[in-house]
């Protein structure tokens, strides 16, 4: 989707300003502002309940903010769209708990995610063409699941499911990837490989990574945003942020 230049309000890929949302009186997000530039990779950290997942829910259309602006690509108001429309705009999401289609083969999981027209008619008479098959093969190679392509996704280990889900994100070819705790439940070796994989992906996509694992963030080596009680507490390189007294207090002080 190419936004008309005249409607451009900001050059940022993602622009959140003054966003608040509350559930039954509990303010999950308060006055949150955040911008992601095209091609940027950003890590988001914060203690439990800081509003990381809620922020992703707002960006992907699962939750509507009470107030605030959420713009994508400079001109598209995400608060007016539903999940499917936002996904088709080019925002992909990997969930905290790996969610793959257990009763489909690994290859079919990628096929379902592969960028294509999502209408009923197009899927009913779908035929996988050669370039599309090649793309599927490429992705299976990148996430190292090519030899398991005919196995049901449900039979994969936790770490492999995480990778499959990253592969599905790649297949979607989104402009912006939201990745929720990609290293959760992985061995150290898998974590290191995941960091390499994400860095590769970030070369031609914008990525937001939510993560608890400081070692992983350090390996990514990107700008960090610290969330606390629903708003931004600090922003900057990891060393600078982790030297911040408020951040230390929030993470360790209670």
DSSP tag of 68:
E
Cα torsion for 53, 154, 114, 52, to the nearest 10°?
10
| Residue 162: half-sphere exposure toward Cβ, Cα within 13 Å | 21
Contact with other proteins (CB under 8 A) among 157, 215, 240, 246: 157
Token pair listed for 31: 């006055």
Token pair listed for 149: 């392509």
Site for other proteins in 44-63 (CB under 8 A): 60, 62
Using DSSP, state whether 81 is helix, strand or coil.
coil
Residues 163 and 135 sit within 8 Å (Cβ to Cβ): no
Site for other proteins in 108-127 (CB under 8 A): 108, 111-113, 118-120, 123-126
Interaction between residue 168 and other proteins (CB under 8 A): yes
Q: Which is nearer to other proteins, 133 or 155 (CB)?
A: 155
CB atoms within 10 A of CB 217: 21
DSSP tag of 33:
E
Residues 208 and 36 sit within 8 Å (Cβ to Cβ): yes
Interaction between residue 95 and other proteins (CB under 8 A): yes
Q: Which is nearer to other proteins, 64 or 144 (CB)?
A: 144
Site for other proteins in 217-246 (CB under 8 A): none
Q: Which is nearer to other proteins, 190 or 211 (CB)?
A: 190
Interaction between residue 150 and other proteins (CB under 8 A): no
Interaction between residue 78 and other proteins (CB under 8 A): no
Q: Which is nearer to other proteins, 181 or 190 (CB)?
A: 190
Using DSSP, state whether 65 is helix, strand or coil.
coil
Residues 90 and 176 sit within 8 Å (Cβ to Cβ): yes
Interaction between residue 80 and other proteins (CB under 8 A): no
Binding-site ranges for other proteins (CB under 8 A) = 60, 62, 83-84, 87-88, 92-93, 95, 99-104, 108, 111-113, 118-120, 123-126, 143-145, 148, 155, 157, 159-160, 163, 168, 172, 187, 189-190, 192-193
């Amino acid at each position: 989707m190419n936004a008309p230049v005249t409607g451009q309000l900001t050059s940022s890929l993602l622009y959140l300003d003054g966003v608040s949302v509350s559930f039954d009186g509990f303010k999950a997000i308060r006055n949150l502002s955040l911008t992601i530039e095209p091609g940027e990779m950003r890590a988001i950290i914060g203690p439990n309940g800081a509003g990381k997942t809620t922020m992703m829910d707002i960006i992907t259309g699962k939750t509507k903010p009470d107030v605030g602006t959420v713009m994508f690509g400079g001109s598209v108001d995400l608060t007016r769209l539903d999940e499917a429309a936002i996904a088709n705009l080019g925002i992909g999401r990997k969930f905290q708990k790996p969610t793959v289609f257990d009763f489909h083969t690994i290859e079919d999981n990628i096929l379902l995610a592969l960028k294509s027209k999502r209408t009923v008619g197009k899927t009913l008479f779908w035929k996988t063409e050669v370039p599309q098959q090649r793309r599927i093969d490429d992705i299976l190679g990148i996430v190292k699941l090519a030899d398991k392509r005919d196995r049901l996704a449900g039979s994969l280990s936790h770490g492999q499911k995480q990778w499959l889900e990253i592969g599905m994100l790649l297949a979607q070819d989104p402009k912006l990837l939201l990745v929720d705790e990609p290293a959760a439940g992985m061995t150290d070796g898998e974590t290191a490989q995941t960091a390499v994989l994400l860095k590769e992906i970030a070369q031609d996509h914008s990525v937001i990574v939510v993560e608890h694992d400081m070692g992983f963030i350090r390996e990514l080596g990107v700008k960090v945003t610290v969330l606390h009680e629903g708003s931004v507490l600090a922003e900057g390189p990891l060393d600078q942020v982790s030297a911040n007294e408020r951040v230390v207090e929030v993470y360790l002080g209670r």
